[in-house]
Amino acid sequence: MTSEPAAVASAAPPATVRAGSWTRRGLEALGSLRDATVARAQSVSRLTRPVRAVISPLGWSVLALAGLAWVVGAWLGWQELMLVAATCLVALAIAVVFVLGRATLRIKVELQPPRLVAGERAAGRILCANRTQQRTLPMDVELPVGQALATFRVPSLAPGGESEELFVVPTERRGVISVGPATTVRGDPLGLLLRRVAGGGGTELLVHPKTIPLPSFGAGVLRDLEGLTTKEVSASDLAFHSLRDYAPGDDRRFVHWKSSAKAMATTGRLQVRQFNDTRRSSLSVVVDARTASYPDPEDFEIALQVAGSLVLRAARDGLQALLVAGSQLATSSAPHLLLDALARATLSPRDSALPILAGRAAQRGTDTTLAVILSGSAVPAPEMRRAALRFPSEVRTVAIRIVPGERWVVGAAGLTTLVQLGELRQLPAVVGSGAIR
């Protein structure tokens, strides 16, 4: 009597397994169908994307009106609605004629000057030329200028014809303003279809920070003829160091004959001059670009203005300059290249720490004689001193903290000169005091 229930219980699992297998197969089939549908939809979307991109919002409205009028007209038997639908479709068909064909304009964008100081204006010119053998239809040309968009109307052009438009780019802040690339916009008179084709002609306008004239660092041409002495001793240079005994291979031009005459009586050896190595003066400027270093982003702009003023003064003194401003690095005696780097500098919360930037400058500018480190008021003085220690001991280091609204103060921390600067116009007085030289 106890064997029958056991037999029933043993027969149940196979049915359950078969049901689960059918369910799993059904889910797999549904998943495959879904994947195939999604793939087909994506393929259709890619194929129709060029067509959908041409239809304007007004065009979509007219297309929807045509579909609605056709359905309702057919349902109610109203010929008037069928006529409305046909009119909309004819208008769309005619609009297609205006957007067919290849790009027909060669576009060139020019800026004069390509570099300027914040607050000045640049004159721009956009030149459109018909490069086909057929007359073009009137069309619009859109030109992005920074965050704005300028639109120019180009008339119908004969083969080889040109159209010129002038525009002005005002600048208020330092930075890089992207101008272009231009885009031709072709469409029908009703604006149902609009086709945008890239026409090229992109360029950049570099807006340099404002600067202020500075007195000379004291390393002008006359002083720089003899360079700045170092602690390294050589057998040939300009700065006399001491005398030593003659060794085989020494240049006899540097024998000091008067001292040799005395030494011959005692040691019997000639005396040769030794010199200190000298080198040309070179300026390195390091600008902290961390967001946390400046309570106000305008403080960073002041730091860049100070850096620009220093490299311009170095160029006028004929000195080589190295600039490290965050991720920007430039070295040149041409001031516009250094100012270009300042125009591209940006604040970043993940930028390198100030000692790392100073180490990068010290590694790149091996001939640096004067290093200026700039940062905001949020950076403590010990960190600026650590940055100054990345330069060799023979390099004169100056650390400048931008503290808006305060008067300028000059102090010292070991071999580093510490300067507190409240605004750009205080910089000439700081340089004139001898703190930066």
Note down pLDDT in tens along the chain; length 437 residues: 444 444 444 444 555 555 566 677 766 677 777 777 777 766 666 666 666 777 888 888 988 998 898 988 888 888 888 899 899 989 888 888 877 766 678 888 889 888 999 989 999 998 888 888 888 888 888 889 888 888 888 888 888 888 888 989 888 889 999 998 888 888 778 888 888 887 776 789 999 999 999 988 754 333 443 444 444 444 444 444 467 776 776 666 767 667 777 777 677 777 776 655 455 578 899 999 999 999 999 999 999 999 999 999 988 888 889 999 989 999 887 888 999 999 999 999 888 889 999 999 999 888 888 999 999 999 998 899 999 999 988 888 999 999 998 899 988 877 889 999 999 999 999 988 888 87
Cβ neighbours, 10 Å, residue 320: 18
* Cis geometry, peptide bond prior to residue 113 (ω within 30 degrees of 0): yes
Q: Could you tell me which CATH number the domain at 282-432 has?
A: 3.40.50.410
Strands 162-170, 121-130: pairing kind? antiparallel
Structure tokens at 53: 């991109």
User: Smallest Cα–Cα separation from 317: which of 220, 383, 173?
Assistant: 220
398/6 Cα distance (integer angstroms): 95
pLDDT on residue 234: 43
pTM for the full predicted model: 0.69
In angstroms, the CA 305 to CA 273 distance is 46
Q: Can you tell me the distance from the alpha carbon of 392 to that of 121, in angstroms, rounded to the nearest whole number?
A: 43
Asked if 346 and 259 count as a contact pair (C-beta separation under 8 A), the reply is no
What is the fold, at CATH topology level, of the domain defined by 105-208? Immunoglobulin-like (2.60.40)
